[in-house]
Structure 1
Amino acid sequence: MTGTGCEIGGAGAADMELMRVWAEEEGWNPGDSDRFAFAAADPEGFLVGRVGGEPVACISAVRYGSDFGFIGFYIARPAFRGQGYGIRLWRAGMERLRGRLVGLDGVVAQQDNYRRSGFRPAWNNTRLEGVPWGVVEPGGALLSGGAGVSGGAGVPRVPAGVELVHAGSLPFAQLAAYDRRFFPASRDAFLSLWTALPGRTALAAVRDGRIAGLGVVRPSAGPSRVGPLYADGPDVAAALLRGLARHAPDGRISVDVPDANPGAAGLLAGLGLVPVFETARMYTGPAPDADLAGVYGVTSLELG
């Protein structure tokens, strides 16, 4: 089928919420408020296909800087699959990113299709879920009282000389510079919302006045999502993860862990998290430079 009769246009606020619902139905468990930060990253980067006025497919094609882009939210509604609507959205998204290095996180079932479109795998992400050891008391109660932040009760074990603080207490320029170590483009507007939207918690690990780790936990329909999870070493990553989990309603969290950091999955599995599914980070060219050894959890499968 050719997908004729499908009108493609930019997503509005209601469409962004609909895309979140569709992603949830696919089992991707996006954060409840992620769409607000997504829109700040590139307001024109979200496309919806409609047939007779009804939304039937969507995609995000977000531009970062002048030479990088990321594809996500590639969904066609089940009743409209195999009719050419999805491929029309795909072509529109890729056209929007023409001339850029493009990345995506592809589910296993679609990876052959992405290869045929010129994408090549760079690494795999494994989603790990569970309650990290040391977050729940033996009787089953969630440790609370500001846990994970300097001055709170039940503070998780942290390396000597490291303090966990709310990321919002630090100058934003420091947070943006630290994020830039691990992501191939600046994304200040996105990051400013991602770390500060209501209902989520962003923690930073600080050593000698410098950031040594950063993590964000946000609510979702399933386990609370953690991402990014950056750290200068596994001990810092473990302390941040426990601290973040204590800000999840039941301590249950979900993290997409890249095998480009060889020790990351083993660390999180050792804390009691278990794998639930896998994606592949893929690019249309060589993987961009980033400090992957410090990435223990990617920010988002939708925007990188």
Structure 2
Amino acid sequence: MTDLKGGAVSGYDAVMMPVNQHPATAASKDIDEFRIRAMSGDELPLALEWAAREGWNPGLHDAVCFYAADPGGFLVGELAGEPIGCISAVKYGSEFGFIGLYIVRPEFRGRGFGIQLWRAAMERLAGRNVGLDGVVAQQANYARSGFRLAYRNVRYQGRVGEDAEESELPPGVVAASTMPLAAVATYDRAIFPAPRDAFLKTWLEQPDAGGFAAVNGGRLQGYVVVRRCREGWKMGPLAADDPSTARRLYEAAAKHAGAGATLFLDVPEANAAAPRFAAELGMTPAFETARMYTGDPPVVDLAKLFGVTSFELG
């Protein structure tokens, strides 16, 4: 991944080897001893620890939530029984999938293991429209694997004002826990290509997180989740009918994070109002990803999406 000035952001460039090539330096004996299998829920924290070392700043409880999305969707590569790399290939419904957490330990890069993980992930998602948030510099390589650019997602960073205080929620905003999960899941289907109810339940209920919903006359107008990460708090998804509703949800999430907290919001540029929204909050761009799909971009209401759920799971 690159920052907006073109420099490398720690970790993202390093793990993304060209997906259409088998490195000439690969040792056939090593490849013969390399095995790929599904991770168990107890093993998934290892992948998140690798992600943290790469500077990806995962949430403190992402492992449990991610695993709920698709228990078979997280692959580990082992060399002589030692875990050396991972990738996620999460299935949603019967037609959509998402690639993420593509990591090979630094000392094992450039030896052909990454391409093996990539092929296993794509095989698992064969026949589906597959999405990813990819390193900008690797767009051409993903294109050779059939991915096409849809739009950019830009991570914005800001801080909660020191004058923020724990107080009543903004007008029309309630704790998401007071809403039926089915109502939140129905709204989520406007901004995500497939049902993900099991994931949403765990995402909303994770420790430390704040989940909030905007309601008017009993009708859900949006929702947000803010979760604690290794550094600061990430807000996502942030979905709302309009910018003013998104602003009230943001204020509720910011209060939950607390005065002085660092906030991150991954903004889809395909919603023209979203970058303006982030800028008006005093947030500034940090880096970007390329949202790409193997098929046509899924039909979702991007005008309602102000913050992506996660770069790992879409």
Does TM, scored on the shorter chain, surpass 0.5? yes
Residue 272 of structure 1 corresponds to 282
- 1: CA distance, partners of 2:261 / 2:183: 28
**Aligned partners of 1:112, 1:301: CA distance in 2, in Å?**
19
Task: Quote how far apart the aligned CAs of 1:136 are.
Answer: 2.8
2:218 to 198, 209, 220: 209
The size of the alignment, in residue pairs, is: 285
Decide which moves more: 59-68 or 106-115.
Answer: 106-115
- Give the structure 1 partner of residue 269 of structure 2: 259
The offset of 1:105, in angstroms, is 0.6
- In the aligned structure 2, how far is the partner of 1:13 from the partner of 1:86? 22
Q: Which residue of 2 aligns with 1:17?
A: 45
Q: 1:136 aligns with which of 126, 151, 162?
A: 162
Letter in 1 for 2:268: P
Find the aligned partners of 2:133 and 2:271 in 1 and give their Cα distance.
16
Deviation at 1:260, TM superposition (A): 0.8
1:237 pairs with 2:263: no
- Equivalences for residues 54-133 of structure 1 within 5 A: 54-132=82-160
**Per-residue deviation at 1:13?**
3.0
Q: For structure 2, list consecutive stretches of 5 or more residues without a partner in the other structure.
A: 1-25
Matches of 1:89 and 1:234, distance apart in 2: 40
Which of 271, 295, 312 pairs up with 1:302?
Answer: 312
Q: Equivalent residues in 2 for 1:185-224 (5 A)?
A: 185-224=194-233
Structure 1 residue 279: Cα displacement = 0.3
Distance 1:92 1:105 in 2: 18
Q: Is the Cα–Cα contact under 8 Å of residues 41 and 71 in structure 2 kept in the other structure?
A: no
Provide the C-alpha distance between the structure 2 equivalents of 1:237 and 1:272, rounded to a whole number of angstroms: 15
**Matches of 2:230 and 2:255 in 1, distance apart?**
17
RMSD of the alignment, in Å?
1.3
Letter in 2 for 1:93: A
Q: Secondary structure at the match of 2:71?
A: coil
CA distance in 1, matches of 2:300, 2:35: 38
Distance change >3 Å, CA 251–CA 239, structure 1 → 2? farther
What corresponds to 1:291 in structure 2? 301
TM (norm. structure 2) is: 0.88
Please, which moves more after superposition, 163-172 or 25-34?
25-34
Question: Are 1:281 and 2:291 counterparts?
Answer: yes
Q: 2:175 maps to what in 1?
A: 166
Quick check: 1:71–1:104 contact (8 Å CA) kept in 2? yes
Contact 1:245 1:252 in 2 (8 A): no
State the alpha-carbon separation in 2 of the partners of residues 262 and 4 from structure 1.
49
Is the 8 Å Cα contact of residues 232 and 263 (structure 2) preserved in structure 1?
Answer: yes
Kindly report which structure 2 residues correspond to 1:42-53, keeping only aligned pairs within 5 A, or say none.
42-53=70-81
Note if contact 1:47-1:60 (Cα within 8 Å) is conserved in structure 2: yes
**Paired residue for 2:34?**
6
* AA in 1 matched with 2:229: S
